């Protein structure tokens, strides 16, 4: 091997090492990867860093239709997918859609995750919600999505944009 070729390889290796170190430093000092400490006054903080597993999410399932046993049927499907269903029953008011998923700031990530299991479901974020995540099933409800379908839906939509009046913290 000629000296010119050795010198060129040495320079390329040195440049690659410098590029790697600069990249590492940039990632470590990136202000976008740290939690947002600049919440506007009066904003409610919601955590978005850890998406809980289904077995960590407690749900209440309510039947918003006149179909008997719908909440129990959906509860069994949700339990098969790992969720913890603490209560089933009938909703106070009927619902026409697929499913309405109520959750508050404390359950934001869990509520969005649970929502992914309902095809064409609707999120009902309430800044004052202090109850467990509650799902009201509607006339259009057929079945709970499979875990793989829900993961795909969640991957496409993610956590979305934070609701008005909130501030995300990782």
> Cα(7)–Cα(2) distance, rounded to whole angstroms?
9
Label residue 165 left, alpha or beta by phi (over 0 means left) and psi (-120 to 50 means alpha).
left
> Cα(57)–Cα(107) distance, rounded to whole angstroms?
9
Predicted confidence at residue 79, as pLDDT, reads 94
Report the pLDDT averaged over residues 143-159: 80
Report the pLDDT averaged over residues 65-90: 92
Return all residues near 106 (Cβ < 8 A) that are at least 6 apart: 130
% the chain with pLDDT above 90: 31
Return all residues near 3 (Cβ < 8 A) that are at least 6 apart: none
Report the pLDDT averaged over residues 100-113: 88
- Report field, pTM of the whole predicted structure over 0.85: no
Q: Is 9 exposed, middle or buried (0-12, 13-18, 19+ CB in 10 A)?
A: exposed
Return all residues near 111 (Cβ < 8 A) that are at least 6 apart: 101, 102, 103, 104, 123, 125, 133
Residue predicted with more confidence, 45 or 139:
139
Q: Give the pLDDT band of residue 136 (cuts 50, 70, 90).
A: very high
Note the pLDDT tens digit of each residue in 40-77: 777 777 776 677 888 999 999 999 998 899 999 999 99
Residue 154 DSSP SS3: helix
């Amino acid at each position: 091997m000629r000296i010119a070729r050795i010198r060129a390889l040495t320079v390329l290796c040195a440049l690659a090492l410098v590029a790697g170190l600069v990249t590492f430093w940039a990632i470590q000092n990136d202000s976008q990867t740290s939690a947002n400490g600049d919440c506007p006054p009066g904003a409610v903080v919601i955590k978005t860093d850890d998406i809980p597993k289904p077995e960590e999410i407690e749900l209440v399932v309510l039947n918003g239709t006149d179909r008997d046993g719908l909440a129990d049927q959906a509860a069994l499907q949700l339990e098969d997918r790992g969720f913890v269903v603490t209560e089933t029953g009938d909703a106070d008011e009927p619902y026409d859609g697929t499913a309405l998923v109520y959750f508050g700031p404390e359950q934001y990530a869990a509520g969005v995750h649970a929502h992914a299991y309902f095809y064409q479901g609707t999120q009902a974020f309430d800044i004052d919600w202090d109850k467990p995540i509650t799902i009201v099933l509607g006339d259009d409800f057929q079945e709970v999505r499979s875990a793989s379908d829900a993961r795909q839906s969640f991957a496409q939509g993610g956590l979305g944009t934070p609701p008005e009046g909130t501030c995300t913290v990782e």
